[in-house]
Structure 1
Amino acid sequence: MRSPSLQPRQSGFTLLEVVVSVALFAIIAALAYGGLDSVLRARAQMAEQAAALARIQFAVGQIERDLRAIADRPVRDAQGQSQPALFGTSTGFELSRHGYANALGAARAEIERASYRRQQQNLLRLRWPVLDRAPGTRPDEVELLTGVSDFRLRYFSRNGREYDRWPAPGNTELRPRRVEVEIEVEGLGRIRRLLELPEIEAIP
């Protein structure tokens, strides 16, 4: 028979070794989670900023498309007063534009009347179903942008003179040569674009 002292010794971890291993694993896991959480937060913040910037670009692009499609078509407002093809102040504008979609070939003009204005913290685009409005005519509103803290417009004549409204006092031009759009959005700062209007023929 073998002596007990000659039997192979069983290998294993002591309780202290297990406790130390678990503690080290917990520390490493906590550090890894903290790093991963920071990366995920930064990624989410970047995605949010990219989405907000895309919304601003879309809004400015819509304004540019409307201005570049301007039609020299005056309208009558709900009070029966004549309004020019483009009427603007430093905080909003209204214009007649070409390109009113008519896929069904309905018997109507392919020009629409659209307007931009800031209401509280929202930038709105309004469009009217008809050009010459009746007292009860209501526009359709589309929210283009949120978190807008400022919306400013400037109008430039052919000689480069700047105005805060259009038609400009003492100026006989039917439309400005350029319009500067300035939008300030919370968290993204102020964006400024100078948009050039095309030369167009008057509509009889």
Structure 2
Amino acid sequence: MLLAAAIFALVGLASVAVLQTVSRTDELSRDSSERLTQLQHSMLMLERDFMQISVRHVRLDGEAAQKNRLFGEKFLLDSEDHGVSFTRQGWRNPGMILPRSEIQTVAYRLQDGTLQRLFTLYPDAVTGTEPKVQLLLSGLSGFELHYLQGEEWLERWQDANFPAAVRITLTDEHLGKMERILMLPDANVAAAAIGGRN
């Protein structure tokens, strides 16, 4: 009788341990799945902006237009890793209801382990205008951008033309690296398309 009670107690303890392990595994799986969804959402934001990149040059304080359409390098905009800045089109403003353009200057940087998207309401912002900051994803240890020119991936881009592609790498503290390569529209083709619409 005593032996049966001991065996029953051991089976009960083992069952509780298995149940706790399954419960913990399920919780970790849900957390990882949620984190992966957040990473994918951030990548989609980056992809959406890059796919709508504009050939428009930016002017500051009414000065001559900047030569470069895309700026990208390490520590740009006080980033802890890479940073990038460019203008994009397609910022919806139906019927021009809001007092702003459908062209938007955007930038991305990593600060305090958080991927940030910066944007201004007007593409030709006045010097001293602070951009709006949108926090996309925390818990990152890396944000890298590389630009394809010919067959070489460059770590820095400042040119009037666009690179053929951009390789984006986000490094999550728990899930590791997530990489995406985006093919960009050719600046000459994009300019011709815009000119053809006018």
Same fold (TM over 0.5): yes
Picking from 151, 155, 162, the partner of 1:164 is: 155
Q: 1:81 to 1:163 in 2, by over 3 A?
A: farther
Picking from 138, 143, 147, the partner of 1:151 is: 143
Q: State the distance in 2 between where 1:78 and 1:37 align.
A: 62
User: 1:85 aligns to what?
Assistant: 69
CA offsets 1:29-79 (integer angstroms, 9 cap, x no match): 322111111001001111111111111111111111111101111112469
Q: State the distance in 2 between where 1:186 and 1:50 align.
A: 15
Aligned partner of residue 117 in structure 1, secondary structure: strand
- The answer to whether residue 54 in structure 2 is matched with residue 71 in structure 1 is yes
- The answer to whether residue 15 in structure 2 is matched with residue 32 in structure 1 is yes
The unaligned stretches of length 5 or more in structure 2 are: 75-81
Q: Is the 8 A contact 2:162 2:185 kept in 1?
A: no
The alpha carbon displacement at 1:25 in A equals: 4.3
- Output the TM-score relative to the length of structure 1: 0.79
User: 2:78 aligns to what?
Assistant: none
User: Would you identify which runs of 4 or more consecutive aligned residues in structure 1 move more than 6 Å?
Assistant: none
Q: Is the 8 A contact 2:69 2:158 kept in 1?
A: no
Q: State the distance in 2 between where 1:104 and 1:29 align.
A: 68
Largest Rg, 1 or 2: 1
**Root-mean-square deviation over aligned CA pairs:** 2.3
Picking from 116, 123, 126, the partner of 2:108 is: 116
Q: State the distance in 2 between where 1:109 and 1:48 align.
A: 39
Q: State the distance in 2 between where 1:140 and 1:67 align.
A: 19
- Output the TM-score relative to the length of structure 2: 0.81
User: 2:27 aligns to what?
Assistant: 44
The unaligned stretches of length 5 or more in structure 1 are: 1-16
The alpha carbon displacement at 1:80 in A equals: 5.1
User: 1:187 aligns to what?
Assistant: 174
Aligned partner of residue 76 in structure 1, secondary structure: coil
The alpha carbon displacement at 1:185 in A equals: 0.9
Deviates more, 1:137-146 or 1:38-47: 137-146
Q: State the distance in 1 between where 2:61 and 2:13 align.
A: 66
Q: State the distance in 1 between where 2:112 and 2:64 align.
A: 28
Q: 1:164 to 1:41 in 2, by over 3 A?
A: same
Count the aligned residue pairs: 182
